[in-house]
Structures are given as C-alpha cells and as structure tokens.
Amino acid sequence: MAGGKSEQYSLFFIRRFKGKVLFNVPMKDYTSFKIGGPADVMAFPKDEGDLKDLVTFAEAKHFQYYILSAGTNILVRDAGMRGIVINMTEGFKDITWTEESKAVVGAGVRLAELCVECRERGLSGVEFSANIPGTVGGAVLMNAGAYGSEMKEVVDGVEFMDAKGRKGFLSNKEIGFKYRSTAIPKGAIITRAHMSFVKSTPDSVGARMNDFREKRKATSKITHPNAGSIFKNPAGKFAGVLIDEAGLKGEQIGKAKISEIHGNYIVNLGGAKAKDVLQLMALVRDNVYGTTGVTLEPEIKVVGED
C-alpha cells in the first residue's frame, strides 16, 4: 500500500472509527476457500455511523471499497484487494421482532442463527438455509437458495446505505430477485432485511431443518476448504451432473481440485492459488460446453487483482 494512502487510512481510523481495523490482511484468512492475497485495509463497522463514515471517506478519497460478509461464495485473486474491505460480520447483528411472524434482521446475522430463532418461535420459511454458511445480507444480495426455496420468498424489503452515506429502502419488487442474483444497485450496502415468516410449530420447523440437513449429507462430506457451488444450475439441469458426465471429477490443477464427491465443488487441498481455481473453472466451462452445448455461468464472485 502506497505511503500516502496508508497515512490517510491511519488518520481516518484513529480519529473517527469505533470498530476494529486491520491493515495488509491476507484474504485467505477471511474466505471459506482459504485463498486470496492481501487487502489493503479491512474494517469492521459497528453501526450505521461507522458505515457512513467509511463509505463517505472512501468516496471522498476515491478509494475502492468492497462489502464482505462471511467470505463464502467468493474467490479472491492472488494479488489481493486494493482499497477498503468492509466486513459486516461484527456489526448489524440485531433481530427485532415487529410482529409475531415479522422481523427486521441485521445484515450481519448468520443464517444458522436466524434458523434457530425461527425454530424456537415456531416460524417457517428459512429452513432451507439451515446449513448454508453466510449472513443474511450476503444471502439476500445473491438470493441464496436450496431445494426449490430462495430468500426472495421471505424478504419483504431491505434497508441500505449508498456510496454517499444516504439511507434508503427497497421493496421485494424493487430488489429484482432472480436466480442467484438481484438488481440491488452497485455500491448499495444492505444493512437490514425486513422478513416475513409463516406460523408453524417448533417441532415442524425443526423436522424440516433436519430433512434439509439429510439432503445435504453428500456435500457435508467435503472437508477441504471450498466456496460452495462454483456454477449456477442451468435451466432444468444440475451443473454438478453435467460436470460429472463430462468426466471431470477429480481433475486437479496445482492444489485446486474438482471434488470427487460433488462435481460442482472445487476444493483447496492446501495452498491452492486463485489462478489454479480459475484454470479449473475454464476447463469445466470448455468441456461441458463441448459435450453438451451448455454454457455454465459462475455462481461464485471473483474479486481482486492478479
């Protein structure tokens, strides 16, 4: 990080910021893939005041910023990330129940935590996410889902902050939910999600959670670091099946390997580089297209510099 920028970062954080700040942070320590070069700065805002100060500082200084949740579903390139990584996992953890089956949920709340709370209250709707690692903010942004259910079904709207520190609200329709994506404007940071659930019973919700856990048994056997599903499922097909049929399970480049358990997972055997994963992804796309004519689209986000 250049000396001038380093000094500007330090002065800002010493004077104004309440949350934790780290410099020259290895991104491999903050992603489920355990891959990625250093980030110039990683800041953990405690509240909306911290977040506003961060984004307005970055905007004024023309510094890049990237929002990080639990670090799943992401591949950071080997040269790391310039600017500020805003890590939302240590703030925005509030759950406020506005009605018996409605809540305003902080972006930093873990999906597993929300599932447990809903089970205890006998509320159904998010059981599918019981074994999905990540936070509510990240799950909403990518419209996370499993087994035919998605976040769009339980989200009424989101509170957000834009790059100028202004707060706003997007309704379910305005969010523009699609398969594993949304139309949330670039630079908008989800701070809270307004969610609605269906009244049920703790036993029924718990049983559904257990059913989904049983269905995920195959991928739960994958013990090496990974980022979950690498590619989106094409319409009417499963990416993992297409990769398996192309004979690609077990293919390896460097320390990255296509899982022999599930074809749509790439695992880090230890010390894998982002370039290894990207080469495997290209190999998969080329081979699946060559054998089926189907073009696979990445589900993971690739960020940072080579």
Contact between 29 and 38 under an 8 Å Cβ cutoff? The reply is no
What is the distance between the alpha carbons of residues 93 and 84, in angstroms, rounded to a whole number?
Answer: 21
DSSP per-residue string spanning 30-70: GSTT----EEEEEEE--SHHHHHHHHHHHHHHT--EEEESS
Residues in CB range of 99: below 8 A, 6 or more apart: none
Active site residue 229: yes
Nearest to 171 by CA among 162, 183, 186, 189: 183
Q: Which of 77, 229, 251, 259 is catalytic?
A: 229
CB atoms under 10 Å from CB of 82, counted, come to 19
Of the listed 77, 82, 110, 180, which one is catalytic?
Answer: 180
Q: Residue type at 254?
A: G
Residues belonging to the active site: 180, 229, 299
